[in-house]
Structure 1
């Protein structure tokens, strides 16, 4: 999403791992998370902000 000043709320694999570690969820590898994000981007569920690194929710 983009705020009024044009900033994009993006996330990367590290932030996903940090979130999952605090919630008692499974611990996927960096490669698994990156592949999942790229697959979601291909389907339009996420958008790529910086290829192979940063992702964001699609703009509405």
Structure 2
């Protein structure tokens, strides 16, 4: 629960924009995604955006960094 308090509030759309803009999926981004998936009722649009991020990582279009 402590980590959640340290992470800023965001929308999935903002997070996806940040990741695609930088080309990097950081540890903070991954924590934010995990929290959103576990604690929020995601819309179909949010689920699609997350799936696109994962697809981009698998294809090598985005780089996962620590």
Q: Structure 2 length as normaliser, TM-score?
A: 0.33
- The structure carrying a bigger strand percent of its residues is 1
- The structure carrying a bigger helix percent of its residues is 2
Higher relative contact order (CA 8 A, sep 6+): 2
Q: Structure 1 length as normaliser, TM-score?
A: 0.36
Greater radius of gyration (CA): 1
